[in-house]
Amino acid sequence: MLNDTSIYIEVFCLIFVFMCCWFVVAQWLQDNSIVDIAWGLGFVSICAWLLWHYQSSFSYRVLSVVTFLWGFRLSIYILIRRLSSKREDWRYENWRKQWGRRHRLMAFLRVFMLQGFFMFIIALPLMQVRGGVEAFTLVQYTALASFAFGFLWESIADWQLFQFKSKPENKGKILQKGLWAYSRHPNYFGEIVIWWSIFLLAIPQGNWWLSICSPITITLVLIKISEPMLEAKMRQNAAFRAYVQQTNAFIPKLF
């Protein structure tokens, strides 16, 4: 039985309104890729709403802080990347062309509402606001350490990729230095570590059997959807095919 059904309903409604607002802005800008900027801010909004409306333990406030750090950093990074490119992300641009006259309806359902659905599932640990303890356990200290590792790993990988792509002479080339020498998607690896860490941090809040849907979902989405989508475009590059042969997709190959 759920801890408090009203919390889940509130978050569901919050996400729906949040995504509808971003959809309107996207149509005005003619850029559906701004949903990626909204992604991190959505989780920040969920935590802020729950902290404002419910009494929360010290452990939940810590959980909220790490979520704020992750969400703001990711959204700011994607905003900077979007401003530097000055165009809609190629994936969303291709979908717009494929959908033709129905592009607004399809964008609403398959971009904004679908991401809203995944946001709800992945945010499940954040909805366990009623439980928790004041004192930290070994599990939570371990979770904080793993979050710090994942956060730094993802942040450094994103920065290295941004620096690489900002240089015109690297157009058509494959980044194989820094963290990208150890795996093809170090930013995704960091993201996966972050959400398993958030799950561990949320265990004292209760309903761990529900919260575990969060890291499982983000892991499957990145492995089964995001990674194949990105690599399908790059496999035409001979250098990338060689890169695939010698580099793991996610887990860093250190030796």
Domain boundaries, the chain: 5-246
Confidence (pTM)? 0.94
| 225-151-21-117 Cα dihedral, nearest 10 degrees | 40
Q: What percent of the chain has pLDDT over 90?
A: 78
Going by pLDDT thresholds of 50, 70 and 90, the confidence category of residue 255 is low
Alpha helices, DSSP H only, in 129-206?
138-165, 186-202
Please give the C-alpha separations between residue 243 and each of 26, 127, 184, in angstroms, as whole numbers: 35, 40, 8
- The predicted structure's pLDDT at residue 133: 62
pLDDT at residue 3 greater than cutoff 70:
no
**Six token digits for residue 107:** 């964008």
**Six token digits for residue 189:** 């690896």
- Give yes or no for a contact between 148 and 189, defined as CB atoms under 8 angstroms apart: no
- The predicted structure's pLDDT at residue 163: 95
When mean pLDDT is compared across 15-29, 46-60, 157-171, the lowest value belongs to 46-60
Q: Measure the CA–CA gap between 201 and 60, rounded to whole angstroms.
A: 8
